[in-house]
Structure 1
Amino acid sequence: MARGIPLGHLEIEGTLKPMIVMAKILSTLILVIWLLRRRVQIGYAMLAGSIILFLIASPTWEKASASLQATLLEIRTWEVMLAMFFVMCLEHLLRTSGTIEGFMKSMKTMLRSDRVLLALMPAFLGLLPSLGGAIFSAPMVEHASKRYHLTPENKVTINYWFRHIWEYSNPIVPALILGSQISSIPLGTLVTHMVGYTFLALILGWIFLLTGVKFRPQKQLENQTKLEVSASLEATLVESTLTKTSWHSVRYILLALGPIIVNIILVVTFHLSAAVSMGLVVLAMIVILRLRWKQVIRMMINSFEKKLLLGILSIMFFQNVLTASGLVQELVALLQGTNLPIAIMLGLSALMVGILTGSPQAVVAITFPIIAALAPGSINTATTAYIMGIAGAMLSPAHLCLIVTGEYFKGDIFKSLRPVLLLEGIILMIVMVTYFV
C-alpha cells in the first residue's frame, strides 16, 4: 500500500482512469460525428473536435503551441494539401478541355455494349474525386440503361457502386492520401496492398448488379414510328462520323486515362509523393493542352477549394492535438491490456464511424491518428481499418453520392443499399479471413 493513500482508493482510481480516458475521447468523437451528420463542413467539425479535446485534456499553452507548430511546420501537412490542390487542377483541366465528354462519346462508339457502359461511366468519373460527383455519371447510366428492365433502385445502386471501386487503389483519392500522411505509410505501399479490392469490387459488381433477367433487352416494337426510324438513322450517322475521326477518339481516351495511369506509375513504381507526382502530371497536361498563362491562372484560381483545404488542415491539427494531449498514450496502455486484436478493434471503430458519417475522409480523420499511435507503420492494421471504414461509408444513408443519385433517379436509397450490404458483407468476410489466415 502506498504511504498515506488507502488501498481501496488506489483500486477505485485504477478502475476509473481507463473509463475517464475513454469518456474524453468518445465525447470528442461523438461531437465530431454529430456535427458531420448535421452537414457541418468537415473542416469546422474537426476544428471543433480539436478545441473540445484540448479543453478536456488538461489544457496548457505548451500543448496548444506544440500542436499548432506541428500542424503548420510539418512538411507532410503541406504535401497533402498540395496533392489535393493538384487533383482539383487535373479535374478542372479534363472538364474544361472537353476531354471527359469526348472520352464518353468515344467509348460508347468503341464498346457498343450498354452493359459495359453502365459500369464504365461511373467508374471513370470516380477516378476524379469530387464532392457529390455521382450526379455527373447518373445521366449516362440513365441513357445506357434504356434497353433493360431496371428499376430506379437498380440504377442508383449501379451508379453508386461502380463510382467507388477506386477507393482502395486510386492514389488521388483524398482519404488514401490523408491516410498515408497520418500513418506515415508510403502511399504506394497502401495502394499495392489494397489494389486487389478494387478488382474484387469490380467483379462482385458485375456478377450481382449487371447480370440476371432484368438485363435481357426489351423487345422492339414491330411497327416503329417514323420518329424512331429518324432517330436511329441519326445515331448511325453520328457513329459513322466518329469512326471516320478515330484519331480524335484515341486522343480523348489517352488524355482522359493517361494522367491517372501515369500518376499511379509514379506513386507505386517510383515511390514519389502524391504532391510531386500530381504536380508533374498537371504540368505535363498544361503543356499537352497548350494552355496560355491566363488559362493556367484561371485553373489555379478555380481549383483552390478553400473548404477542402481547410478540412485537411483541421484534420492534421486534430491529429496533433490528440497526440499532444497525452490521451493517445493513455489509450494505448488501456487497449494493450485487452485480448481483442488491435486491427479488428480499430476496424470496427472505423466501420461505425463510416456508417455514422458517410465520409471516407471522416473515417481516416477520426481513426487513423489512433492507428498511428497504437500500431505505427503496421500496414495490416491500417488497411484492415481503412477497408472496414470504406464499407461503413458505403452503407451509410448519409453518403452524399448516394443521396444525390437517389434524388436523380427518384429511387428509395434504403432499397438501393440492400445489394451494397451484400457486396460489402462479402468484402468484409474476405478481410477477416485474410487477417486471421
Structure 2
Amino acid sequence: MDQTLALVVSIVLVLILIRKLNIGISLFVGSAVLSYLLFGFYGFEVMLNALVSLQTIKIVIIVILAFTLGYAMEYFGMLGEIAESLSESIGAYSFILIPLLIGLLPMPGGALISAVMLGPLVKKYALSPEKATLLNYWFRHIWVTFWPLYPSIIIGSAVLNTDLFKFASATFPISIFAVISGLLLTRGMERKFRIGKDTAKALLNLYPVAILILLTVAMKIDLLVSLLVSIAAVSIHRRAKIRDFEKIMKKTVDRKIIILVFAVMVFKSVIEVSGAAESLFTDISLEFPAPIAAFILTLTVGFATGIEMSYSSIALPLLTSFTGVGNIIPHNLMLVIAAGYIGVMLSPLHLCYVLTAEYFGTEVSRTYRQLFVIAFITAMLVWILYLL
C-alpha cells in the first residue's frame, strides 16, 4: 500500500478506537495495522524491536522514576506546602506558576506531577475540571520549544548541526506566543500577589527540581541518573523507610501508563522505519509551497505520535533543505518547530493530556474546543512573525 495512505489509515483507526478502547491498546492496534500494510508480517518484527529497545525501556524507567519523585514529594507533604503557600501568595494563578516550574523538567507524563500539586486547589478556587486540565496541560509545556533539557531540542540541534543556543534563539518566540494565548484561560480567575517569608520557605521544597536542573543542565548528567539522585535526596531528607516507598510505588506503577508509553514508542518507530513521513512530505509538496508543506508535515507527525521527540527525529531530518544545516534559517526553523509543537499539543495521544484529564476527572473531548482555540492563536502569531 502507498505509504502516505497507510499512515493516514493508521492515524484515523487509532482516533476511532480511542473512543472504545484504552488509548495504549488503540495505539498498538494502529501500529500493527501500519506495520502490516507497509511491511507485511515483517512489520511485527519492527514493532518487537522497538518494544524491547534500550531507548524504550529507558523512557519507561524515566516515567516511573518521574512519578516516583512526584509522588514522594506529595507523600512527604512537600508539594502540599508549595501549593498552599503559592495559593496564598498568588491565588488561582498557582495554576500557571506550578506547571511552569514543573515544566522545566523534561519528564514524559510530567504534567501529572503538577496536576497532583494543583489537585487540592481545584475546589478551593472553584475551577472546573476542564479549566484546571487546560491550564495545567498548556503551561506545563511552555518551555518545550527551546529549553535545552528537552530531548526534542537536543535531537533537533544535532540533526541541524547547530548549537543549542542558536537553536533556542530561533524557537523561543513560540513560547512567548504560547504564553500570550494561554492567558486567555485565566479570564475570571482571582488575582492577588503577595510574597512573604513563608512563601520563600515553602519554595525550598523545590530543591529536588533544583537538583535535577543542576545535574542535567550544568553537569550534563543523564536524566535517569539525576532522577535517582533527586529521589535519594528526598529519601535522606525525609528519612524515608521501605514501607513509605511501598505506599508510593502503589501509586507510581500504573499499568495503563506503562502500556501507553510502550505504544507511543512503537508507533514512532514504525513511522520512522517505514519512511511514511517522507512520503507524506513529498505528496504534500506537490500541492503546496514549501513553508506550508513543511508546516503540514511536521504538524501531522506531531499529532500522530503525541510526543515532542517525533518531530525532531522524524520530520526535521526531511526538512534540512528548508531549515538549513549548520547555518540555520531561523524563521524557517521556528515555523517547523511551532508546527510540531502545536501538533503534539493537539494530539489526543499526548501522554500529558490524557493523564491530566484523567486526574482532574474530565474527558479529553470536553476540553478540546478550547485547546484548539489557543493552539490556533499560537499558530497564527507564529505565521504572522514568519511572514513579517
User: Is the structural similarity TM-score above 0.5?
Assistant: yes
Asked if structure 1 preserves the Cα contact closer than 8 Å seen for 2:4 and 2:280, the reply is yes
The one-letter code matched in structure 2 to 1:53 is: L
Match of 1:98 among 48, 61, 77: 77
Query: Could you say which residue in structure 2 is the equivalent of 1:72?
Result: 52
Correspondence for 1:161: 135
Decide which structure has the larger Cα Rg and report it.
1
Pairs aligned (count): 357
Query: Which runs of 5 or more structure 1 residues have no equivalent in the other structure?
Result: 1-16, 146-151, 218-242, 355-360
Cα 1:199–1:99 shift into 2, 3 Å: farther
Q: Which runs of 5+ in 2 are unaligned?
A: 324-332
The two structures, once aligned, show a CA RMSD in angstroms of 4.6
Q: Deviations over 1:163-219 (max 9, x none)?
A: 521213269x9xx66x57987969x8888876655555445545x45568x8699xx
Partner in structure 2 of residue 11 of structure 1: none
| Closer, same or farther: CA 204–58 of 1 in aligned 2, 3 Å | closer
* Letter matched to residue 49 of structure 1: G
Mapped to 1, the partners of 2:276 and 2:317 lie a distance apart of 10
Q: 2:241 aligns with which of 268, 292, 296?
A: 292
Do 1:347 and 1:388's aligned partners in 2 also have CA atoms closer than 8 Å? no
- Report the Cα offset of residue 83 of structure 1: 1.5
Q: What pairs up with 1:80-159 in 2 under 5 angstroms?
A: 80-109=59-88, 111=89, 113-114=90-91, 116-117=93-94, 119-120=96-97, 129=110, 137=118, 140-144=121-125, 156-157=130-131
| Aligned match of 2:346 | 392
From the superposition, tell whether residues 97 and 336 of structure 1 become closer, same or farther in structure 2 (CA, over 3 Å).
Answer: same
Deviation at 1:72, TM superposition (A): 1.7
1:264 aligns with 2:213: yes
1:430 maps to what in 2? 381
Q: Whole-Å Cα distance in 2 between the matches of residues 335 and 90 of structure 1?
A: 44
Q: 1:60 to 1:184 in 2, by over 3 A?
A: farther
Change over 3 Å in CA distance of 1:267–1:337 after alignment to 2: farther
> Is the aligned partner of 1:31 residue 2:13?
yes
Structure-2 change in CA distance of 1:68 and 1:332 (3 Å): farther
Q: 1:104 to 1:132 in 2, by over 3 A?
A: closer
Alignment counterpart, residue 203 of structure 2, candidates 248, 253, 262: 253
Equivalent position of 2:230 in the other structure: 281
C-alpha contact 1:21 1:331 (8 A) present in aligned 2: yes
> 2: CA distance between counterparts of 1:91 and 1:29?
32
Q: Distance in 1 between matches of 2:217 and 2:26?
A: 33
For residue 253 of structure 1, what is the amino acid of its counterpart?
Answer: L
User: Counterparts of 1:18-417 in structure 2 under 5 Å?
Assistant: 20-42=2-24, 44-61=25-42, 63-73=43-53, 75-109=54-88, 111=89, 113-114=90-91, 116-117=93-94, 119-120=96-97, 129=110, 137=118, 140-144=121-125, 156-157=130-131, 160-161=134-135, 163-169=137-143, 197-198=174-175, 200-206=177-183, 208-210=184-186, 250-255=200-205, 257-300=206-249, 302-325=251-274, 327-328=276-277, 330-331=279-280, 333-335=282-284, 337=286, 339-341=289-291, 342-349=293-300, 353=303, 362=306, 370-371=314-315, 374-375=318-319, 380=334, 383-393=337-347, 401=356, 417=369
After TM superposition, the score normalised by the length of structure 1 is 0.63
